Structures are given as structure tokens and as C-alpha cells.
Amino acid sequence: MKPVFFGLILVFTLSCKQQAKTQLTAQEIVDKSIEISGGQLYKTQRTSFKFRGRKYSSQIDNGKKLLERITFLDSVTIKDVKTNSDLKRYFNDSLVSLPDTLAFKYANSVNSVHYFARLPYGLNDKAVHKELLGTEAIKGVPYFKLKVTFDQEGGGKDFDDTYIYWFNTETFKVDYLAYDYHTDGGGQRFREAYNERFVEGIRFVDYNNLKPKTKGTSLLEIGKMFEKDGLELLSKIELVDIEVTP
């Protein structure tokens, strides 16, 4: 009887642990993920990296984000500086005037690269709404599956896009994410994180960037499609020359 008794205790204990995990809220999951990925360092450290030949840097000064992108050409260095309120462009340190439409376009382009590089930190922005959809296994690993939507105010150009994030139930790290978009005919993207490294306490990853092989797919089913080889690789998102400084 003793083996049966201890077996029941083990099953009960594991069940209680799993139940405790699923009782976490979406906010608690995101908070835990931010903490293990860098926590307060996102606010106090300046980060920089290169992506596809351009240099990006970010910092938070008195609660305000300052995002930069530097493009190196033969005779000109172009610097785009995005703050909470606007974007300014400099040619060799000289401020140039931009039409509102171009400034808006460049601001969203700069913000997009920084957003993915700093995940999961941005998931606590004011415009973000988070919903826990339950758990889902990918490649045999259980994940918390969160849906993220945005307010129009503060949500950027693509505020009406929907995102799905998969947080490892043990480590709380984001291993996968997916999103839909409505420009250029619309579609979905799925990103698989790899090459994890911590630089001065902040987590960075690269991504395999994939899309569904067939149109008309559901974003909520894209994790299952990934497991069934229903996605194809479009590109790789790779960050190099990462630096983190006070």
C-alpha cells in the first residue's frame, strides 16, 4: 500500500503545482518575465546593437524613452532620434526638416526594431492589454499563452495588430511570439527565439522569422501550425555588437 500512497501524494503535489501556475494572471506572468530578463536594468542601462548594418541604441531618461537609429553611408551619417513625442532626423549632426508622413514612418520603423529587441519589457506599456489564453505545449514544452492588443492612443501605427506570446511555464522566458498585420494585404508572422545570451544582466535573443505556407490561417492556431511544419522561414533577425552600459 505504501508505494500507492506515496504515488498518490506525488500526483497530488504535481497537480497543485500546475494549478498554482495556471492561477497566475497575465500581468504576473509578464512581470516575472521582465524580472528574469533584465528587470530594472531596462530603466537604468543604455543598450546598443547593430541590426542589418545600422546601429540602434536606447535609454530611459527621467522616465522618457530615447530611441536612436544610425545609418552609415559613404559620406553621410543619418541619425534618427525618437522620443515619446516626436522623431528628429540629423544628417552629419545637422537637423533636417521632415514632412509629418515621413517622420511618422521613420518613428514606427525605429520603434519596431527596439520593441522586439527589448522584449518583454514593452509589454508593460500603458497602451498594452494582456489576456491569458491558458497553456499550450510547443515541442513538448508547456507555455503560458498570452494575447496582446493595443489602445489606439499610444499604440503606434499598427495599434490594431494582435500579438500572441508564449512564456515558458518554468523559466517565464518568451520563446515564441506571433502577430498579425493589416498593411500590404495583411498576414501573420511567427518568431522562434534562439541564441539566447545575457549581456550585463539583460537578455537578448535572435529570431527565426516565419510565415504560414497558406493564407487565411488563424493567429490562435499558428503555434500548432509551427509544430506541423505549416510555416516557412522568411528571414533571420540577428543582433550583433551588443553593448550595455550605465
Q: What is the pLDDT of residue 35?
A: 98
Nearest to 174 by CA among 92, 119, 233: 119
CB 144 within 8 A of CB 167: yes
Is residue 83 within 8 Å of residue 65, measured between CB atoms?
A: yes
Q: Binning pLDDT at 50, 70 and 90, where does residue 28 land?
A: very high
In 3D space, the residue among 50, 85, 97 whose CA is nearest the CA of residue 71 turns out to be: 50
Would you place residue 227 in the very low, low, confident or very high pLDDT band (cuts 50, 70, 90)? very high
- 3-state helix, strand, coil split of the chain in percent (to 5) is 30, 45, 25
Q: Which of 243, 195, 224, 41 is nearest to 137 (CA)?
A: 224
Domain count, the chain: 1
211 is in which domain, residue-wise? 27-245
pTM for the structure as a whole = 0.86
Alpha-carbon gap, residue 48 to 27, rounded angstroms = 28
Whether 191 is in a domain gets the answer yes
Q: Please indicate, yes or no, if residue 241 is contained in any of the structural domains.
A: yes
Mean pLDDT confidence for 205-230: 95
Domain contains 105: yes
12/20 Cα distance (integer angstroms): 12
Q: What is the DSSP letter of 75?
A: S
79 falls within a domain:
yes
What are the angstrom distances between the C-alpha of 59 and each of 52, 94, 114, 158, 162?
21, 22, 11, 23, 26
138-177 burial, b at 16+ Cβ within 10 Å, e below that, comes to beeebbbbbbbebeeeebbebeebebbbbbbbeebbbbbb
Instruction: Look up residue 109 and give its three cell numbers.
Output: 520603423
pLDDT at 40 over 90: yes
Of the pLDDT bands very low, low, confident and very high (cuts 50, 70, 90), residue 16 is very low
* Average confidence score pLDDT of the chain: 89
Confidence label for 216 from pLDDT (cuts 50, 70 and 90): confident
pLDDT cut 90: percent of the chain above it: 76
Name which residue leads in pLDDT, 168 or 22: 168
Residue 160 has pLDDT above 90, yes or no: no
How confident is the model over 87-101, as pLDDT tens digits? 999 999 999 999 999
CATH number at residue 135: 2.50.20
- Tell me, yes or no, whether 156 lies in a domain: yes
Is pLDDT at 211 greater than 80 in this prediction?
yes
Residue 26: per-residue pLDDT? 98
Residues in the chain: 246
pLDDT in tens, 54-73: 999 999 888 788 999 999 99
d(CA 192, CA 207): 5
pLDDT computed for residue 22 by the predictor: 58
What residue ranges in 1-63 does DSSP mark as E strands?
A: 46-51, 54-61
Q: How far apart are CA 127 and CA 219, in angstroms?
A: 21
**Grid-cell match 490594431, residue found:** 160
At which residue does the C-alpha cell 489602445 appear? Answer: 151
Please report whether residue 9 resides in a domain.
Answer: no
The verdict on residue 22 lying in a domain is: no
Helix (H, G, I), strand (E, B) or coil at 167: strand
Question: Is pLDDT at 41 greater than 60 in this prediction?
Answer: yes
For 196, the grid coordinates are 539566447
Cell output for 162: 494582435
Residue 19, in any domain of the structure: no
What SS3 class is residue 184? helix
